[in-house]
Structure 1
Amino acid sequence: MTIYVAGHRGMVGSAIVRQLKAQGISPLVRSRAELDLTDQAAVREFMQEERPEAVIVAAAKVGGIHANNTYPADFIYENLMMECNVIHQAFLAGVRRLLFLGSSCIYPRAISQPMREEALLSGALEPTNEPYAVAKIAGIKLCESYNRQYGTDYRSVMPTNLYGPGDNFHPENSHVLPALIRRFHEAKEQSLDEVVIWGTGTPRREFLHVDDMASASLFVLDLTIDVYQANTQPMLSHINVGSGTDISILELAQLIARIIGFDGAISIDPSKPDGTMRKLMDVSRLRQMGWQAQTGLEQGIRDTYQWYLNNHRVLMAE
């Protein structure tokens, strides 16, 4: 099978490519310089020429609270354009199987925990990342709509917070876990006495290693259509992917500090936004189908920190 992986250089896309190659599959890939996914004509030409049998949409513009607050127009525009172009042009090229990767931020800010798939569009979104969330919801609905109208087999998986090798450690636009790894590492190197974390430290977050996400993505893509449809509904076609456990931001900071060997104080800054107070995915649907996460958080952070150390010079130049 010819599988096109959009976003193969990102953290999730690269993990998916690694696992496909381990299975003896050489996926079809294109760099951003070779193919701008926000360019409809370019995507059309690519799909018509290559005509892949399956497509995995792992391409996305992502970032933490600061980046989402600072560049909301970029987040909604680029993500909408990429997913619209790839999904629609895949359909026009005859692609019958497609997997769209979303995000747990699609769910309303104030809903019961853990978050079930049925909670989609049941309330107001978290304001700090609403533009990004709206784009991801649109991707789900694109897949659902093509399935309803054209009988395609387009599926969606909604991961919780991801981390791992290839993560973004930029000081301004990274997510919380890689941001904390970099800050505690630099604090240790500079012999600082204190690290201040954003917010109150009380929000709880769930984290999933990117290799587990890649495994779940290929698991869902490979499901027979009768098994997939038996566990979804025409108007509820997405599936949550997560570890099923969460941790407070302060506890996460303490764990990362211990792994890195930072012995100073950890303080909070309540003047900074907390975001959603809790985000825990209900992953019972995926577990019932036979998949669950394998990487524990502490071991996953240790592996990620080692990758960070191995790539330290390149990352410091960012």
Structure 2
Amino acid sequence: MKTNSRIYIAGHRGMVGSAIWRALEAKGYSNLIGRTSAELDLRNQEEVMNFFHTEFPDVVIDAAARVGGILANNNYPYQFLMDNMQIQNNLIDASLKIDVQKFIFLGSSCIYPKLAPQPLKEEYLLTGPLEPTNEWYAIAKITGVKACEAIKHQFGKDFISLMPTNLYGPHDNFDLNTSHVLPALIRKFHDAKVKSNNKENIEPVELPCSEPVELWGSGTPKREFLYVEDLAEAVVFALENRLPGSLYNVGTGEDLTIQELSVLIQKIVGHTGEIHWDSTKPDGTPRKLLDVSKMTDAGWKAKTSLEDGIRKTYQWFLAQEGAIKEVKITQP
């Protein structure tokens, strides 16, 4: 791949897309293309085809999607299914028709069956029922994976799918109504700390934070988390190498319970109150750990530890919230 190749990153303003953009710039790629949703509605097939016939990208990286946590998936199933199918179908079809050199489709580990053996291997796809709380998003992503596989099989084109585990990092969504678990935990512990501090007219950094935090479920499910900048490096790796397969898991190969994650985030944020678990709320899939041996064998491995990644993410959150003067991140 040449550094002046025309690379279109769909969703370049989001957490994943912006990380990919930064990673490519750092590697010297100078001809990056991006459009906001206001400039280009990826759900509109005519708009997408007109864009492709104007720009003629050499590479397309699909980091565009409607995303959210359990609550958002439950409340908006049609939008999670249809919006994502329209976005990816338009991008995949246009890329095939104008003969792009490479297409990289980004999905999610939720494509695998709820009770599949752990760790999750790529061949477990479509071997059992999905987790009901996010099946709409998962079904959409599965169709994208199979479309890329079909194109690679039928036309021999370099269309591949990367399935990252749970992502987090700068530009994440911290809205408690639509966010995933890790940013939601950061937001909850941070808000509880600030609320506790504001109850007393003293220097907030010195005040013990007694405001309790209520979290969903039992805390027993196990999850794997990948820092978004590591995913961006995996995308660059896939861009610069022709991988023989059509589907690759991208993760760390390590997981922990939601309870362990909560304690870690609580320490990093500096909250010292109690944690209350609401067992009436759903847990989701009991465990979701990726087998990342295919990517490891290909030559790529994640490098950011979970604690380091969370600290960097919280620093970014504080800077965006304008709260850096209110609280201090605890040090190791």
Q: Deviations over 1:227-273 (max 9, x none)?
A: x21xx2xxxx2000001100101111111001111010111111000
Runs of 4+ in structure 1 over 4 Å off: none
Hey, what's the Cα distance between the residues in 2 that align with 1:145 and 1:112?
A: 26
Mapping for residues 27-42 of structure 1, pairs under 5 Å: 27-42=32-47
Which stretch shows the higher mean deviation, 19-28 or 296-305? 19-28
Aligned match of 1:239 in 223, 248, 254? 248
Mapping for residues 66-81 of structure 1, pairs under 5 Å: 66-81=71-86
Aligned twin of 2:10: 6
Aligned twin of 1:18: 22
Q: Report percent identity of matched pairs.
A: 54
Hey, what's the Cα distance between the residues in 2 that align with 1:111 and 1:43?
A: 36
Give yes or no for the alignment of 1:96 onto 2:106. no
Q: How far does residue 280 in structure 1 lie from its aligned partner after superposition? A: 0.3
The TM-score normalised by the length of structure 1 is: 0.94
Contact map agreement 2:108 2:165 (CA 8 A) in 1? yes
> Considering only aligned residues, what root-mean-square deviation do their CA atoms show, in Å?
1.0
Query: 1:213 corresponds to which letter in structure 2?
Result: L
Give the match's secondary structure for 1:125: coil
Q: How far does residue 313 in structure 1 lie from its aligned partner after superposition? A: 4.5
Contact map agreement 1:155 1:221 (CA 8 A) in 2? no
Give yes or no for the alignment of 1:293 onto 2:302. yes
Q: How far does residue 181 in structure 1 lie from its aligned partner after superposition? A: 0.3
Contact map agreement 1:107 1:120 (CA 8 A) in 2? yes
Contact map agreement 2:195 2:211 (CA 8 A) in 1? no
Contact map agreement 2:151 2:159 (CA 8 A) in 1? yes
Q: How far does residue 145 in structure 1 lie from its aligned partner after superposition? A: 1.1
Q: Which has the larger radius of gyration?
A: 2
The TM-score normalised by the length of structure 2 is: 0.90
Query: 2:226 corresponds to which letter in structure 1?
Result: L
Mapping for residues 151-230 of structure 1, pairs under 5 Å: 151-191=156-196, 192-224=210-242, 228-229=243-244
Q: Deviations over 1:180-200 (max 9, x none)?
A: 001100100111531111000
Q: How far does residue 173 in structure 1 lie from its aligned partner after superposition? A: 0.3
Aligned twin of 2:139: 134
Q: Deviations over 1:285-313 (max 9, x none)?
A: 11111111110000100000000000004
Q: Deviations over 1:8-48 (max 9, x none)?
A: 01100000000111122131111111100000000000001
Matched positions, count: 305
Hey, what's the Cα distance between the residues in 1 that align with 2:239 and 2:57?
A: 14
Give yes or no for the alignment of 1:54 onto 2:38. no
Aligned twin of 1:310: 319
Hey, what's the Cα distance between the residues in 1 that align with 2:238 and 2:314?
A: 29
Q: Deviations over 1:161-217 (max 9, x none)?
A: 000000000110000000000110010011153111100000000000000000011
Q: Deviations over 1:60-114 (max 9, x none)?
A: 0100000001101000010000000001011111213100001000000001110
